[in-house]
Amino acid sequence: MDDLKKQIRALSEISGALEPSEDERNKILKEVQQYANTFLNNLPTTKTYSSEKAKKENFSITSEVKPLKKILEIYNSKVAAKGIHPASAGHLGYIPGGGIYASALADYLVDITNEYAGLSFASPGAVAMEHELLDWMKSLFGFPESAVGNLTSGGSIANMIGLTSARDKHQIKGAKIEKNVVYLSPQLHHSCLKALRIIGLEDIIIRHLQLDSNSKIIPEDFSEKLQKDKENGLEPFLLIASAGTTDTGAVDPLKKLGKIAKQNNLWYHIDAAYGGFFILSGQRKMLFDGIEMADSLAVDPHKSLFLPFGIGAVLVKDKEAVFHSHHYSANYMQDAHADTSRVDPADVSPELTKHFRALRLWLPLQLHGIEPFTACLEEKLLLTRYFRERIQELGFKIGPEPDLSVTYFWWPQDQNENYFNQQLLKEIHKNGTVFLSSTLIDGKFVIRLAVLSFRTKIETIDRAVEVLVLAVRKLS
């Protein structure tokens, strides 16, 4: 026994490195804080994109102990300095968010206390906070109090939970799969298509609906295709609409589509991952009329509420449909399952180990209130309009007026227009001051601007215009 105690004490002394003293914690925190401040202070003058070719970085794990200063140098040079800088004001491609500072503080607190947010039994406060945020979202989007929800890792899991619920509500399995039909936009985010495959609906019939000149689903086309499928003995069961597409920022005619879906007993899922929180804006609120008709809704606070990557949300009206796939019990959980006062997050999500995500949204809302978030969204709408007016004056062609803060444009050419604009985007990427992306609209190569980072200001847009002018001059 004495020998065993000696071995335990020896190991305890070595493992004690994992529990630094208060003085050591202060020293470490000071170094990290200095790095964070330097990073944030330098952001305005740091390029948004590094087009340096990717190479294999050496992040090897060895028994060597490195000082924190060296570790931060590795992180800065091999991670933060490479590729797109998502925290930059100049991130105007894909769907940026930014990552507000208050959320970083929330994540620090969460990681220190290491709350388990999957079960109310384990952390009633963490689960109650998640429910409070979900209740707030229900009120925003007109969902009933009886709806259930979950704070997810992002839109992909949020969409998957919603679509799994649709599958289970309509019992789409076995031989039924090949006769059932899903209706969606060609511009629907690929996470929904990926989710359908993951949940076993790879062989389902997918109908791509026609879009109007503003990239919105045409309700009449949906109705016609649906009726034709019924006449042919097929089983329409799901409509997926978008409240803010990634390609063009289009919001589908949610109310008209919802009416058709309800009349035909279809599950109505809305992917509002990018655009959902624009409902806070008085300028755009009317676009979301009908969102309350959805059976399930996905929305991402890490997009249009500017939080760091890693928090989405889903709302579903039919609790039993969600529980069918996600609610399980086990003997070792019998103490936890004795508490049935609230819906546990682990019962409405694939996740059992649940990160305490709620604080990264709750803390900023408490610290800043809702008004700065709303003002930021409205600012992005105006910046998009400002950009369109400026580049049109310079000779660029622009797509139709967007619903939200994504717009597309191109430089006109008599010949090889697509090729010219492909080269134009390469020049923008070489410059790296700002980052823009591209898409195809009816086979036409266009450049996309997505204004959503909370740090993007009018000066950022002016810089983007300067980069475009320089690129066109160089190619011409």
In a domain, 155, yes or no: yes
> For residue 464, what are the domain limits?
25-59+68-100+370-476
Residue 132 sits in the same domain as residue 85: no
Residues 282 and 389 reside in one and the same domain: no
3-state helix, strand, coil in the chain (%, to 5): 50, 15, 35
pLDDT in tens, 194-242: 999 999 999 999 999 999 999 999 999 999 999 999 999 999 999 999 9
Is the Cβ–Cβ distance between 434 and 428 less than 8 Å? yes
Two tokens, residue 94: 């894909």
In this structure, the answer to whether residues 95 and 124 fall within a common structural domain is: no
Using one digit for the tens of pLDDT, what is the confidence trace for 292-313? 999 999 999 999 999 999 999 9
Out of 344, 368, 392, a domain closes at 368
Task: Tell me what pLDDT residue 54 has.
Answer: 57
Residue pLDDT, tens place only, 368-385 = 999 999 999 999 999 999
Tell me: pLDDT of 339 over 60.
no
Higher-pLDDT residue of 120 and 361 is 361
How far, in Å, CA of 327 to CA of 324, rounded?
Answer: 6
> Residue 429 domain-assigned?
yes
Q: Are residues 193 and 283 in the same domain?
A: yes
pLDDT given for residue 335 in this prediction: 52
- Domain-ending residue, one of 368, 391, 413: 368
- At residue 57, the pLDDT reads 74
360/234 same-domain check: yes
**Residue with structure tokens 């409240």?**
243
Query: How many domains does the chain contain in total?
Result: 2
Tell whether 141 and 130 lie within a shared domain: yes
3-19 average pLDDT score: 91
Q: Are residues 192 and 127 in the same domain?
A: yes
Of 329, 346, 368, the residue that ends a domain is: 368
Q: What is the pLDDT of residue 60?
A: 86
pLDDT band at 28 (very low <50, low <70, confident <90, very high): very high
Identify the CA nearest to 304 among candidates 142, 141, 468, 135: 141
The pLDDT of 111-136, averaged and rounded, is 94
The total number of residues shown for the chain amounts to: 476
What's the pLDDT band for 50 if we cut at 50, 70, 90? confident
What is the model's pTM? 0.94
Q: Which CATH number goes with the domain that contains 445? A: 3.90.1150.170
Angle between helices 101-113 and 358-368 (to 10 degrees): 130
